[in-house]
Amino acid sequence: MSSLRPSPIAPTVDFDRDGVQHGFLRLPYSRDDSAWGSVMIPTCVIRNGKGPTALLTGGNHGDEYEGPLALYDLARTLDPKEVSGTVIIVPAMNYPAFRAGTRTSPIDKGNLNRSFPGRPDGTVTEKIADYFQRELLPRTDIALDFHSGGRTLDFVPFCAAHIRPDKVLEAKGFDAVEAFSAPWSMKMLEIDAVGMFDTAAEEMGKLFITTELGGGGTSRAETVRIARRGVLNVLRHAGIVSGAVEKVRTQWLDMPSGECFSFAEDDGMIETMVDLGEKVEEGQVLARIHSVGRTGVAPHEIRARMSGLLAARHFPGLVKAGDCAAVVAVLVG
Chain residues binding Zn ion by CB under 5 A are 61, 64, 147
Which residue, 43 or 57, has its beta carbon nearer to Zn ion?
57
Q: How far apart are the C-alpha atoms of 125 and 225, rounded to whole Å?
A: 30
Cβ proximity to Zn ion: between 70 and 304 the closer is 70
Q: What CA–CA distance (Å, rounded) separates 227 from 317?
A: 27
In the complex, the smallest distance separating the C-beta of residue 144 from Zn ion, rounded to whole angstroms, is: 13
CB of 16 to Zn ion, least distance (A): 30
User: Residue 320 class from Cβ within 10 Å (0-12 exposed, 13-18 middle, 19+ buried)?
Assistant: middle
Contacts of 286 (CB under 8 A, 6+ apart): 262, 272, 273, 274, 280, 302, 303, 304, 310, 313, 325, 326, 328
Identity of the residue, 78 or 97, whose beta carbon is nearer to Zn ion in the bound complex:
97
Closest CB to Zn ion among residues 61, 127? 61
158 Cβ contact list (under 8 Å, min separation 6): 182, 183, 184, 185, 186, 211, 212, 213, 253, 311
Q: 53 or 102: whose CB is closer to Zn ion?
A: 102
Nearest distance in Å: CB 17, Zn ion? 31
CB of 214 to Zn ion, least distance (A): 11
DSSP state of 93: S
Nearer to Zn ion, 61 or 134 (CB): 61
> At its nearest, how many Å lie between Zn ion and the CB of residue 115?
13
For the CB of residue 226, give the shortest distance to Zn ion in the complex, in Å: 16
Asked if 14 contacts 43 with a C-beta cutoff of 8 angstroms, the reply is: no
Measured between alpha carbons, how far is 106 from 97 in angstroms, rounded to an integer? 6
Give the C-alpha separation, 270 to 264, whole Å: 9
* Class of residue 16 by CB neighbours under 10 A (exposed 0-12, middle 13-18, buried 19+): exposed
**Of 84 and 104, CB closest to Zn ion:** 104
Shortest Cβ 252–Zn ion spacing (Å): 21
Amino acid at 22: H
